[in-house]
């Protein structure tokens, strides 16, 4: 692969063609936060914490660094005031879904609970790591998403689970280890929260493939 020269936060950085900005920054020891990225999975861009500014002057734009590939002469800013503001807002929103976001992340960007945001303490941050692991690595498609926006949910399809889970993970459910919040629940092993405490909610929600959309949303509590 050819070498690409770019600038990140005023520092000259070399990267291989095809690398993402996130990968190039991490290789250079430059911090960019993310909650949905995993080196074993395809980039997804769900949490948007990894957004950065690229370009200069009036041509600057905001991109997800886990998806955007490096280019010769690219200029990147990872901690501009605009980017800090974006991350602060994202963390403010996430705090109302998951109250165990790393304190150092909240402090770094000045995130605080906001009265204008409604609490929906599901402990699921919709990072998609469990869904993507089940699809990309295991090819089982036991987990999936339903809904959009604020009513988006991770669900488990029982028919697929009965077909694959016991043989796929006979000793432990490997997708549990990909969940950054520790909220995933299984009828085999129960909830395993990250701090060892019992969680008020457990995800994913079980639904049947033959349910209509109204029945599904009744099951997950969104109607």
Q: 51-97, pLDDT tens digit by residue?
A: 999 998 788 999 999 999 999 999 999 999 999 999 999 999 999 88
- For 137, which DSSP code? I
Q: What is the pLDDT of residues 166-194, one digit of tens each?
A: 787 766 667 777 888 877 655 443 444 44
Q: Which fold has domain 3-86?
A: Ubiquitin-like (UB roll) (3.10.20)
- Please, what is the Cα angle at 120 between 117 and 122, to 5 degrees? 145
Specify the pTM.
Answer: 0.79
Give me the residue spans of the domains in the chain. 3-86, 129-219
Burial class of residue 131, CB neighbours in 10 A (0-12, 13-18, 19+):
buried
């Amino acid at each position: 692969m050819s070498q690409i020269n770019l600038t990140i936060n005023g520092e000259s950085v070399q990267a291989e063609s095809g690398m993402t900005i996130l990968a190039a920054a991490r290789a250079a020891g430059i911090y960019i936060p993310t909650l949905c990225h995993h080196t074993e999975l395809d980039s997804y861009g769900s949490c948007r914490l990894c957004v950065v500014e690229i370009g200069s002057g009036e041509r600057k734009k905001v991109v997800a660094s886990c998806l955007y590939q490096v280019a010769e002469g690219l200029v990147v800013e990872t901690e501009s005031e605009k980017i800090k503001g974006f991350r602060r807002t994202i963390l403010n929103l996430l705090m109302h879904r998951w109250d165990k976001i790393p304190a150092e992340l909240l402090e770094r960007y000045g995130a605080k609970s906001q009265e204008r945001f409604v609490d929906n303490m599901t402990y699921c941050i919709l990072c998609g790591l469990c869904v993507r692991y089940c699809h990309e690595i295991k090819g089982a498609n036991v987990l999936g998403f339903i809904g959009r926006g604020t009513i988006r949910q991770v669900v488990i399809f029982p028919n697929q689970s009965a077909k694959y889970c016991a043989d796929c993970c006979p000793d432990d459910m490997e997708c549990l280890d990909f969940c950054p919040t520790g909220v995933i629940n299984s009828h085999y092993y129960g909830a395993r929260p990250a701090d060892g405490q019992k969680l008020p909610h457990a995800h994913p929600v079980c639904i049947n493939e033959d349910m209509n959309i109204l029945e599904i949303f009744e099951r997950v509590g969104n109607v």
